[in-house]
Amino acid sequence: MRQVKLGADGPSVGAIGLGCMSFGGMYGATDMNESHATLKKALDLGVNHLDVANIYGAGVCEEVIGSFIKGKGNPFTIATKGGIVPGPDRDFRNGKDYLTECLDGSLKRLGVDYVDLYYVHRRDARIPIEDVMETMKSFVDAGKIGAIGLSEIAPSTLERAVKIAPVAAVQSEYSLWTRLPELGMLQACERLGATFVSFSPLGRGMLSDNDLVPERFPAEDFRATNPRFMEPNFSANLQRVRKLRELAADKGVATSTLALAWTFAMAPNSIAIPGTRSSNHLAQDAAAADIVLSPDDMDAIEAIMPAGFAHGGRYNVSQATGVEDFC
């Protein structure tokens, strides 16, 4: 698989990583065996970068990974995150004590004493980013983390952060139906030496070969109250997706493969971290790393899904809390 560096001086990983949020049941029921089978398939495909967080499944996702890598010498480059206080009144804390607590808990669940990449999951606006970066730098100096990442931030925050310490990666939602990073974040990452990481690059399962059925989403599914999966938005979005499927079929690839290849055409040095528990879907995702789309391909995709086509916001009010706006 084509390799991409995490930051200017970080390790090289596959352009396709694996988002592990679903291992904890956040998109419906899962089990250890299913998750372990997906992790094994990832290694077979050259998908060697895992993305997780302490709050995914209340720590279950990290425990699943920890149980898989135990005794294997950790064959993955692992990224995890901290800084969100879970619960009905979700809050964000970026103070040193809380980030240390989050990191130490993650290391324990993963069964490691070091992770390659550690993200501030959401920015705590009460604390200057410069102070947060000093804390993160202390984790690097202590040998607990290899590199620093930031999630869902504005380009201006990245500008300030890199004055304190290098930022290896910035993670934001980016896909055919969520294109905000094109308005400054992709450019800032390129300019400042941070690798851009696309999360939810398949629109939370929407950009695939199979119709989703929102009525069947369990109550705990993130999408159950997400505007884009609620009517009349969902039906309008599905019409566009079906046209994209026709284009993918004409090219002889899966819809997910085409959608992921598009992210690399738009951001050539980026990493995408689609989430799945299906070995077959993971193989389709991995194929996108080495596909080169022509200008005609890009024009055809743009005609089907022009910038801003999506009906409904990418988050509801509660889900959007803590995300930095910049446009």
Active site residues: 56
E strands, the chain, are 3-5, 12-14, 18-19, 49-51, 77-82, 84-85, 91-92, 117-120, 148-151, 169-173, 195-199, 271-273
Peptide linkage before 166 cis (omega within 30 of 0): no
174, two tokens: 């980016």
Q: What is the DSSP annotation of 92-150?
A: E--SHHHHHHHHHHHHHHHT-S-BSEEEE-S--TTS-HHHHHHHHHHHHHTTSBS-EEE
Amino acid making up residue 249: A
CB 177 within 8 Å of CB 305: yes
CA nearest neighbour of 29 among 217, 228, 226, 256:
217
Per the document, the length of the chain is 327
Nearest to 68 by CA among 81, 52, 82: 52
Rounded CA-CA distance 15/268 in Å is 9
Task: State how far the Cα of 271 lies from the Cα of 102, in Å rounded to an integer.
Answer: 25
